[in-house]
Amino acid sequence: MTDIKTEEFFLASIFQNFKNLIAKWEGDVSNHPEDPGGFTRRGVSLRYNPEYTKEDLMNFSNDEIDLILYNKYGKPFRIWNWSPGLALAFYDCSINQGPGAAVSVLQRTINTVAGEELKVDGIFGSKTEGALLKYTNNNIHTYHFRKLLTQYLANRMTRYCFGSDTFAQGWSNRLMDIAFFAYQLELEWMALYREEITKRNEQIKEEEPTTH
């Protein structure tokens, strides 16, 4: 599965949808007194990114902001190797709730759906990545494949239930929008994957020596 697309292909194609959707929900500049992130521009918070100043954030282009977000909240987890719907749900959670929370939600999801016994510690190590890719590879052709995305979204909603009342409605709306696009991406990717496998099988048959 993971050899079908590379990071370069991911960034040039699927990730463009991610950027637009994240920008839609993050907005441009926010500084709500109840937001723990404080001053934020397009998802980059000064409090959680102290290497930047307010002036830096205001001077960055949108493309530079998108790259900062990807390098911190997506690239370390090699999301280009994931199914795109789950990658979108994770990436948005990583930006909105923090990478540690996003990984914890993922670990809890894998344990529930795949019956693994991962430690829910928010650390994306080889065991978490291996369990994720194993489940995806083993279930790409079945309904069980989509259970991972469904459970991830449900677990994320559960975290929102214990969050701030001020942002609850906005967070819920955001999650529903992310879910809609994530399922679309997932179904499209499954169709492309099956088409690729069919082509490979046909090629193998054509290359097999004929017997008389």
CB count within 10 Å of CB 122 equals 16
Name the residue with tokens 């969050």: 163
Residue 34 counted as domain residue:
yes
Residue 140 domain flag:
yes
Looking at the domain assignment, is residue 52 inside a domain?
yes
Q: Which amino acid would we find at residue 11?
A: L
Contact by Cβ (8 Å): 148, 135: yes
Nearest to 182 by CA among 131, 144, 146: 146
**Residue spans of the chain under pLDDT 70:** 1-5, 143, 162-165, 193-212
Domain CATH for 73 = 1.20.141.10
Sign, CA torsion 117/6/146/183 = positive
- Do the domain assignments include residue 69? yes
Q: Which residues 6+ apart lie within 8 Å of 128 measured at CB?
A: 103, 106, 107, 110, 118
> Does residue 165 sit within a domain?
yes
Side chain identity at residue 150, one-letter code: T
143 three-class SS: coil
Domain that holds residue 137: 7-207
- In whole angstroms, give the CA distance from residue 41 to residue 43: 5
Which residues are CB-contacts of 151 (< 8 A; sequence separation ≥ 6)? 109, 112, 113
pLDDT digits 0-9 by tens, 62-93: 999 999 999 999 999 999 999 999 999 999 99
Q: What is the 3-state secondary structure (H, E, C) of 164-191?
A: CCCCHHHHHHHHHHHHHHHHHHHHHHHH
User: Is residue 120 one of the residues assigned to a domain?
Assistant: yes
Q: Is residue 212 part of a domain?
A: no
Half-sphere exposure of 43 (CA within 13 A, CB side): 30
The answer to whether residue 1 sits within a structural domain is: no
User: What total number of domains does the chain contain?
Assistant: 1
d(CA 146, CA 141) in angstroms, rounded, equals 10
